[in-house]
Amino acid sequence: MGKRKSKAKPPPRKRMDKLDTVFSCPFCNHGTGVECRIDMKNLIGEAICSICQESFSTTVTALTEPIDIYSEWIDECERVNSLEDDGA
């Protein structure tokens, strides 16, 4: 008689690494100056530098992560700088 086939165990789940919530400030270049907070109740994301008090606010969705808020801030800074270069 044959042996019963055993079910193969599923592979273990890979853990997702947590993304950073603290970043370097584009204005004062402090390494851990910017902290991103997400207020899902009011759908507002905020990035604030604790050193130079610069801040950036944007609207968020359910899928928004702190890195998204920081990236939008950096993109907005680059956009403003390119407008100043064109106008000068």
Amino acid (one-letter) located at 12: P
Name the residue with tokens 């990035």: 47
Per-residue confidence (pLDDT) for residue 69, from 0 to 100: 94
In a domain, 65, yes or no: yes
> How many Cβ atoms are within 10 Å of 83's Cβ, its own excluded?
10
Residue 43, in any domain of the structure: yes
Two tokens at 26? 């584009």
Q: What is the residue range of 69's domain? A: 34-80
Q: And the tokens for 68?
A: 């998204």
The pTM of the full predicted model, rounded to 2 decimals, is 0.74
Is 1 inside any structural domain? no
Could you report the per-residue pLDDT of 17-37, keeping only the tens digit for each? Answer: 777 778 999 899 888 889 999
Number of domains in the chain: 1
* Residue 17 domain flag: no
76: closest CA among 54, 53, 52, 44?
A: 54
The region that residue 29 occupies, defined by phi over 0 for left and psi between -120 and 50 for alpha, beta otherwise, is left
Structural domain includes residue 58: yes
